[in-house]
Amino acid sequence: MSVHEALVHQPPPMKAGEAGAVMIAVVVLYSCIMVGVHLWAARNPGTAGPGFWGTLPSVWDHPEPNYMVSGAIVEFWSVLTTIPVAGSLLLYEGIKYGYAPKVLGVYVITCAMYTLAFAAHMTLESFIFSSTVTAVMSNALYTFSQFSTVVHPHLQQASLRGTIVLASFVALVSAVATLPYAIAKNGGVWTLFIVQTPGVLLATAIAAYLARHAAAPEEREAFNLVWKSGSLLSTAMLCSLFECMYGFDYGYIPALLGFPWLHIIIHVLEQVGIYLYGVGVATLQLKVLSEQHGPELHHAGGWLVYLYCPRMKEQCPQIQEQNDHVTVQEPLPTPMTMLETESDPYLWKFSAPSVSPTVQTASYKNISVSGADERSHNGLAMHSVPNDCRRRSSTPVQRKYASINTE
DSSP string across 196-234:
HHHHHHHHHHHHHHHHHT-SSHHHHHHHHHHHHHHHHHH
Per-position b or e across 9-46, b if 16+ CB within 10 A of its CB: ebeeebeeebbeebbeebeeebeeebeebbeebeeeee
What torsion do the CA atoms of 350, 351, 353, 358 make, to the nearest 10 degrees? 50
d(CA 72, CA 86): 25
Which pLDDT belongs to residue 11? 86
Q: Where are the alpha helices (DSSP H) in 213-332?
A: 217-242, 248-250, 261-283
Contact 266, 243 (CB under 8 A): yes
What torsion do the CA atoms of 110, 113, 117, 120 make, to the nearest 10 degrees? 170
d(CA 223, CA 231): 12
d(CA 191, CA 188): 5
Q: In what order do the strands lie in the sheet with 373-377?
A: 336-339, 347-350, 380-384, 373-377
Q: Which domains does the chain have, with CATH numbers?
A: 7-308 (1.20.1070), 319-384 (no CATH)
d(CA 123, CA 110): 20
Q: What is the pTM of this model?
A: 0.77
d(CA 43, CA 225): 48
Measured N-to-C along each axis, helices 261-283 and 85-97 cross at an angle, to the nearest 10 degrees, of 20
d(CA 101, CA 54): 40
d(CA 283, CA 266): 26
For the chain, the straight-line distance linking the first and the last C-alpha, in angstroms and rounded, comes to 32
Q: Which amino acid type is present at position 396?
A: P
307 Cβ partners below 8 Å, 6+ apart? 93, 97, 99, 279, 282, 283, 286, 287, 295, 296, 297, 298
d(CA 364, CA 391): 25
- pLDDT tens digit sequence for 318-374: 334 344 444 444 444 444 434 333 444 333 333 334 444 433 333 333 333 444 444
Strand (E) or helix (H) holding 383 = strand 380-384
Stated length of the chain: 407
Which pLDDT belongs to residue 44? 81
- pLDDT tens digit sequence for 50-91: 788 989 999 999 999 999 999 999 999 999 999 999 999 999
What parts of the chain have a pLDDT lower than 70?
Answer: 1-9, 46-49, 291-293, 311-407
Nearest to 106 by CA among 259, 262, 277: 277
> Between the CA of residue 267 and those of 55, 121, 235, 278, 383, what are the distances in Å?
23, 12, 11, 16, 52
Q: Phi and psi at residue 186, in whole multiples of 5°?
A: 55, 45
